[in-house]
Amino acid sequence: MSDQRRSRRARVSPLGAGVRSAFLPGWGQYAQGRKETAMAMFRVLILILAAGAAAIVAGDRLLSMLVRPGFLLGLLAANLVVLAFRGFSVWDAWRGSGGRAATAGLIVLLVLVAVPHLALGYFQGQGYRLLNSVFGGGSPTTTVAASPSTSGEPGTTSGGAVVTTTTVPPTTTTTIPWEGKERVNILLLGGDSGPGRSGIRTDTMIVASIDLDDGDIAMFGLPRNLSGLEFPDGTEFTAYSGILNEVYPYGWDNPDRYPVENPGAAAIMDMAEGITGLDIDYYVLVNLQAFVKVVDALGGVTIYVPTAVHDDEYPKEDGTTITIDIPAGTQELNGTEALAYVRSRRQSDDYNRMARQRCFLTAVADQADVGSLITALPTLVPVIEENVQTDIPLSALPNLIELGGIVKASDALVVGFGPPDWITGRTAQRYPIPNLDKIHEAVQLSIEDPDEARVVYGLQEAGDACGYGEDSTNGPASTTTAGG
């Protein structure tokens, strides 16, 4: 037996055995005739592979676990343990080889083994950083966009740039705030701090109401120029021009009314509750300027464009203008084109722009996949940290991820509360005044009986309203419009 082992050892050099074990832990030891050691390593490897296979089978459940900071730290520790195991396997197969050349070969092998683990560790660290910088334990988040009247405070602007403040919220979990509820209502805000503006205005306002049982979703678009508004306590909103997209800076100008970390978000959530009659659980605010970097990081977005968008004087962030021409049909939009698609009002109006925004968000939600998001993570993390804020707590993220697995954005029932169907008249400045009674009735019916709401109010699902049906990358046989 010893002669056979010596014969087997003679067939492979220590460095050659190390190379084998770099690819498959235990392979080098087996080639050396050290079967007991090899089998022990194979058993460990099988356990690792079984754990990986279980993670793949877990699917959405795994994704919901990945948004738990503690779980990410556990994965990081496991990654280091696997790295140590693979490094030991290489060293154990190599040991006994002498000389500088052999030592250099071992170092190269260990580096090659370590590289993928270090890369994985980097992504894990980026994910941990993102969770702890954007999501908190129930309190508003890091990037604060404030009113234009306060200079130098968190969230004020200078030359169009948002001044931010960063905090690291606790990572402890708490009870999910919506336990016992049937739906979760999230206010989606698109903040525009573009050229000519001294602060952020929430030009995009959508209330997404999601059924926690079956994932049915309704999206209610709130036009930016609604006026004649009252807060739920009966206080009239008459600040500035008195329109809806000025409620956010009003909150920052009146912190005594909203004594929270982000009074702007509190104010617009308050007003959205009054308009829709829903209790808003969370908000998410995205600076629209971030669209460029986010879309580019994802490699662009493919979307069916039902009506061409042309703008000879589209304003860039530096104050200059460019020509934007997005033809009708299926288009691959880069970041600049995507931002123009959701912002441009030339040759259209606020309500068409609202429809384009809903359609674009729906397309992104339908096309985004875990792989592309993870690949883009290093680029996305700083962009999200600087341009996204939310009060969604870490404790709610796993449940939201699982909920996202059964939600199909293109099936969302959509309605934009603009003229002429949803107003009672106009102000002296010609701003539309919402018909709150009709809006409240439509919201409740859309939630309680979506099929009836389609008939009574002529509502459509997002994909149909956008003209692309179930597939946001392809239009129907006959072109339709994206309005509605």
- Position 124 scores a pLDDT of 80
Q: Give the list of residues 6+ apart from residue 440 with CB closer than 8 angstroms, or none.
A: 276, 277
Predicted confidence (pLDDT) at residue 164 exceeds the cutoff of 60: no
Q: 366-391: b or e for each residue (b if 16 or more CB lie within 10 Å)? A: bbeeeeeeeebbeebbebbbbbbbbb
In the structure, what pLDDT confidence band is assigned to residue 463 with cuts at 50, 70 and 90? confident
Separation in Å, CA 182 to CA 174, 197, 300, 409: 19, 40, 35, 19
pLDDT in tens, 207-254: 999 998 888 899 999 999 999 999 999 999 999 999 999 999 999 999
For 322, residues 6+ apart whose C-beta sits below 8 A from its C-beta are 314, 316
Higher-pLDDT residue of 96, 51: 51
- Tokens read off for 476: 């129907």
Does position 99 have pLDDT exceeding 60, yes or no?
no
Angle made by CA atoms 58, 59, 62, in degrees to the nearest 5: 70
pLDDT for the residue 184: 92
Which sign, positive or negative, has the C-alpha torsion 436, 441, 447, 452?
negative
For residue 146, pLDDT over 60 is answered with: no
Cβ-contact 169, 136 below 8 angstroms: yes
Q: Mean of the pLDDT values across residues 335-358?
A: 80
pLDDT at 142 over 70: no
Amino acid of residue 109: L
Q: Is the peptide bond before 255 cis (omega within 30 degrees of 0)?
A: no
Instruction: Assess whether pLDDT exceeds 60 at residue 383.
Output: yes
The arithmetic mean of pLDDT across residues 54-77, rounded, is 72
pLDDT level of residue 173 (50, 70, 90 thresholds):
very low
> What is the average pLDDT score of the chain?
79
Q: What is the mean pLDDT of residues 12-37?
A: 88
- SS3 state at 90: helix
Residue 280's DSSP bridge partners are none
Q: How confident is the model at residue 18 (pLDDT cuts 50, 70, 90)?
A: confident
Most confident option among 47-56, 106-115, 366-375, 462-471? 106-115
* 10-19, 83-92, 187-196: least confident range: 187-196
Q: Give residue 178's pLDDT band: very low, low, confident or very high (50, 70, 90).
A: low
Indicate if the alpha-carbon torsion angle 415, 421, 427, 428 is positive or negative: positive
Angstrom CA distances, 94 to 23, 91, 106, 271, stand at: 13, 5, 7, 69
> Rounded to an integer, what distance in angstroms lies between the CA atom of residue 325 and that of residue 309?
6
Q: What distance in Å separates the CA atoms of residue 18 and residue 25, rounded to the nearest whole number?
A: 9
- Cα dist. 172→67, 97, 127, 136, 184 in Å? 13, 50, 16, 9, 22
Residue-level pLDDT at 64? 66
Please give the Cα distance from 211 to 216 (Å, whole number). Answer: 5
What is the pLDDT, as a whole number, of residue 172? 39
Share of the chain above pLDDT 90, in %: 28
Residue 135 exposed, middle or buried by CB count within 10 Å (0-12, 13-18, 19+): buried
Give the tokens for residue 445: 């019916």
Residue 32 identity (one-letter amino acid): Q
Percent of residues, the chain, with pLDDT higher than 70: 79
Return the beta strands (E) in 105-223 as ranges. Answer: 157-158, 161-162, 183-192, 201-211, 217-221
* pLDDT, position 58: 62
Phi, psi of 184 (to 5 degrees): -120, 135
354 versus 43: the higher-pLDDT residue is: 43
Residue 402, classed as helix, strand or coil, is helix
